Amino acid sequence: MYEELLKQIDANKLPQHVAIIMDGNGRWAEERRLPRTFGHRVGVASVKAVIKVCLELRIKYLTLYAFSTENWARPKNEIDALFKLLQEFLRKERKRLQKEEIKLNVIGRWRELPAKVVKSITSVVEETRNNSKLILNIALNYGGRQEIIDAINKGIENGEKDFSIETLQKYLYTSGIPEPDLLIRTSGECRISNFLLWQIAYTELYFTKVYWPEFREEEFLKALIAYQRRERRFGKI
């Protein structure tokens, strides 16, 4: 199946940057009468699968929405479990990130996270900062509106007065990173949930009913194939 789908990929028409709203972990687990946190755990395997495909196809930028500024409204035990999983991921995968030349970049107000989490992130970001095969952006305590506000405030602090599109972009968390070509959301919800509001002005959107824990290599290839069939116009005819 994977090989069949791979044959349909046109290497010259791949997105340079894919962003993903990884949704549906909770429902995937609930449907199996498992705790929601189990869904998050299985979702980590999907993260690894998507990274693998990006490396294989040489997709250079991958941005994953892992925790939104609105997700603080969830029960404490679920939030704790999510950050535990993140730390476990960083601990177990740091060697591989280095070996595969992946640069970890975290976007959002992540410095406000629990000190332990900030510490593990900082250490892996530091360790992988010279890698460039894949730029893995993880959005943590991320909100698109907050990003724009943070950018304006940073700009003002830096003496900017008259903001143009280019000026504002310089201060976004994603400064220096091309805009996503493709945004995927799993789990059947067709909304943006405060993700990359500024950057997705011309991004192709792909929604699938598949829950994140089941979004593996094949599903990712299907999304890429759908993307390749789109005609991007950017306002032209």
Give me the residues that bind ligand IPE (CB under 6 A), please. 21-27, 65-68, 71, 82, 187, 189, 191, 193, 212
In terms of DSSP bridges, do strands 134-142 and 182-185 run parallel, antiparallel, or are they unpaired? unpaired
CA distance 122 to 104: 10
**Which of 140, 175, 117 is CA-nearest to residue 65?**
140
- Least distance to ligand IPE, CB of residue 80, Å: 12
By CB under 5 A, name the one of 17, 23, 50, 208 that touches Mg ion: 23
CA distance 206 to 180: 12
Our finding on whether 214 is near Mg ion (CB under 5 A) is no
Q: Which is nearer to Mg ion, 36 or 103 (CB)?
A: 36
Considering only 15-23, 49-57, 120-128, 170-178, which stretch makes contact with Mg ion by CB under 5 A?
Answer: 15-23
141 noted as active-site residue: no
CA distance 35 to 178: 37
Catalytic residue of the set 10, 12, 25, 71: 71
Q: Which residue is nearest to ligand IPE (CB)?
A: 26
* Residue whose token pair is 């280095």: 98
Catalytic residue list: 23, 71
